[in-house]
Structure 1
């Protein structure tokens, strides 16, 4: 095994100011990291050559244990509250010292990567891991520098992820033993007590959501993106479980990315170098691109085998509904590398409506676009976060409130500016329930959703007859190629029409109650986009 072991930590770890008593591995290849993971019993190989690993107690993010350091940089700019929880600056420094001491006596895997495919706006990131498979995750999810870039590499941000290290809430100021703490002044993210790898990528996403809009006038977005043969790009907003990854992996179009992007004037670019897709109930028939990407170098989290085999049983949810795979964009043959393209021509807001009343596809005017961007309605699906076992009504501002350090209106204003600069069609797509609410109706067929999105992208809905939704005012197409007309009108899919009206009014009222906290920042045009 040709491991690259650092004889001296003075170059990549000098800022930590400690003496490593164990080996420090620097930028190992995927094959070497897989070998290390197997030797350390961190995971096993599947029949396709992917590495299967468990994340331990935490199989999803723990949003209540995510903090931002309160200091001169953040005190007047961060949107403080239940999402951005302030953390004491001195407590951070003390915890940082404890983690450095812990690292002295453990093998450390170091990786230098980029976040941002556009060189003008990318962050240089140094990641320190105590698990080899976590370092492989970072190899897959971030963008790899070439040899010349590594020679001159200077980190803008540092992630220190140590699942074995738990905080003492009484001494360290955390809520629990697990934590994710972002210091935007010192540009350090500390993660401990959790093996869920997604905390690393979402930590950097939160940092980009502060830096890019605040300092560079670039709109940072929680969305997936793809591009057609004619260069017509499309972006898909939506929380985890609404179909961002699935719908952007279209065999007819090239993939830009599945989760995090920036929009700067005429350009759209991916923050990441890989995809982090849910795999519960995955099949080659329904999602061939994702299914085939799970090969050597890829990671699958919290999955299980069919008995007596090394074949993954994607229907097995005994560990969690939030089973996932992490693979580099190069595993998708249709991906665009580097992941930069033109500004979007179509934007899709994806919602998993658990009420079953939102039409499967609607066209939004400008007022409705801004209103629903700020509202970010969906249902959190099982497994996305700890404690979620069935769909739960939620409003997540800008379809990513959990990762927004700034007030949502800052992103909405920037979104409006980008929209006016580009001629963009905006669609609201319900990938949730039809024929009734959760527990009575059925989840929207993926084939229907794909057909509706394809029709929108290909301009087939431009001249279709539309009706006005009686509760929300959306323009709803009456016909769409490949979709039964009754499906396009959700009320017709319900057996009890009065029950539909009741649920629609309930949801409309929920929108209005949620929007109360934004009313002081909203003008008349924005308010006109709400429910009728």
Structure 2
């Protein structure tokens, strides 16, 4: 296992990885053996890294309590709130940077992926990816310690993906601990080689003079190498959505439909999928006290039924209240990461109405923190596919039953309206469209996902609905 961690951090130029040791670099050497024994990992002898400057401690799959200690001790801006959550800051970037995302174009991806106008995929070549990868790995190797998470994506055991996240911050490690599926000790012992690896060197910028770079931020995806590199942004959502993009490529190759949707199940086993852009009510409608929550954001639909891709929830916190969203309110406790929130200096009580850092304040917590979550997060084939649109123009009827062709049309369109106040500068309702209700993350052409959705709905007898969560009857 430790050898594999060392290999993950190998410099391609030097061809070796650092000698790694399990434990806290500030602690005593003896404690390393104790911690390693506790996790059934043989502790290696301390040696120097491949840069010959220092040894690198690998903090491997730490518990939330251990990650709290690391964050409070070493990461400025980390605090424990009054309810026990860990409040952190993501630095200058408080949201995703879609214009800085790059995908390696090669002989395979050139034909398979969606490129060009309207596509979220901006190309880069293999050489530039390797330049950025080396920059990230060299930065991580220069640190006293790195955090490594080995976890899973997709609750369907037949189609589970093994992911490794190498990062420099406890905040990032705890975020991914919550958002990915957490392995048992036995699964961790037999984890083997990951299917995909993220190198998060977000505290270090890319070189803006490198070809294909447009700023000091770059999020680079190489599907052939099964690797992702993050430079110049500490916003944790880049890791979550980066892996979601990967699943939008890997799953359709197995004839499995990847979906940006909420999902819940009734007591009789009837499953509903909810598609919708930000502000359309997707989270509100999928979190129903009378139904079991399978997941709030990312799902797969295979021959086995539906399954959540993730092991946690990433909820918006702006103007959060106990009365309106009690489940999310109560989930903000020990183990939860609170991103970019403002709190009272003395009591540590969070002011969810404060937008001074960003409007995009977030909470990341394990799905088990939701009382009616269905664990494992899988269900039978959906009976209803519900497309949500917040229509501020008052044109769409409140509820429309759709045939397959209409469902595909509205799924590809991904329509909603931005209402005044949802974004800066929006004073009048503005129509917006996002293919498959998640255009920022899809890798293939939208029609491929729509065809798969229609085929699965027809095969399993699912009904399509268009629900207007905005206004009806004209303006």
Call closer, same or farther: CA 1:381–1:53 in 2, change over 3 Å: farther
1:151 pairs with one of 177, 189, 192: 189
**Long gaps (5+) in structure 2:** 11-16, 19-48
Distance 1:414 1:384 in 2: 32
Distance 2:333 2:419 in 1: 27
Q: Map 1:191-270 onto structure 2 (within 5 A).
A: 191-213=230-252, 215-270=253-308
The residue aligned with 2:224 is 185
The residue aligned with 1:360 is 398
Distance 2:355 2:160 in 1: 37
1:314 pairs with one of 329, 352, 361: 352
TM superposition shift of 1:116: 0.5
Q: Map 1:421-432 onto structure 2 (within 5 A).
A: 421-432=459-470
Distance 1:310 1:357 in 2: 46
Call closer, same or farther: CA 1:101–1:240 in 2, change over 3 Å: same
TM superposition shift of 1:309: 2.7
The residue aligned with 2:173 is 135
TM superposition shift of 1:49: 0.2
Asked whether 1:102 is paired with 2:139, we answer yes
When normalised by structure 2's length, the TM-score is 0.86
- Is contact 1:322-1:382 (8 Å) kept? no
TM superposition shift of 1:366: 2.2
Distance 1:206 1:216 in 2: 15
TM superposition shift of 1:42: 4.4
The residue aligned with 1:24 is 58
Q: How many residues align?
A: 428
Distance 2:306 2:81 in 1: 35
Distance 2:65 2:225 in 1: 33
Distance 1:159 1:190 in 2: 6
2:88 pairs with one of 53, 63, 73: 53
The residue aligned with 2:435 is 397
TM superposition shift of 1:362: 2.4
TM superposition shift of 1:137: 0.4
Judge which range, 89-98 or 392-401, deviates more.
392-401
Asked whether 1:78 is paired with 2:113, we answer yes
When normalised by structure 1's length, the TM-score is 0.77
TM superposition shift of 1:191: 1.0
TM superposition shift of 1:243: 2.5
TM superposition shift of 1:121: 1.1
Q: Map 1:260-409 onto structure 2 (within 5 A).
A: 260-306=298-344, 308-379=346-417, 392-409=430-447
Distance 1:123 1:177 in 2: 31
Cα deviation, 1:71-128, whole Å, max 9, x if unaligned, reads: 1221111101241101111000111111111111112100000010001111100001
TM superposition shift of 1:241: 3.0
**Long gaps (5+) in structure 1:** 1-7, 435-489, 495-499, 501-532
Q: Map 1:407-418 onto structure 2 (within 5 A).
A: 407-418=445-456
TM superposition shift of 1:9: 4.6
Distance 2:168 2:400 in 1: 47
The residue aligned with 1:91 is 128
Secondary structure class of the residue paired with 2:444: coil
Cα deviation, 1:439-482, whole Å, max 9, x if unaligned, reads: xxxxxxxxxxxxxxxxxxxxxxxxxxxxxxxxxxxxxxxxxxxx
Call closer, same or farther: CA 1:344–1:79 in 2, change over 3 Å: same
Distance 1:335 1:55 in 2: 28
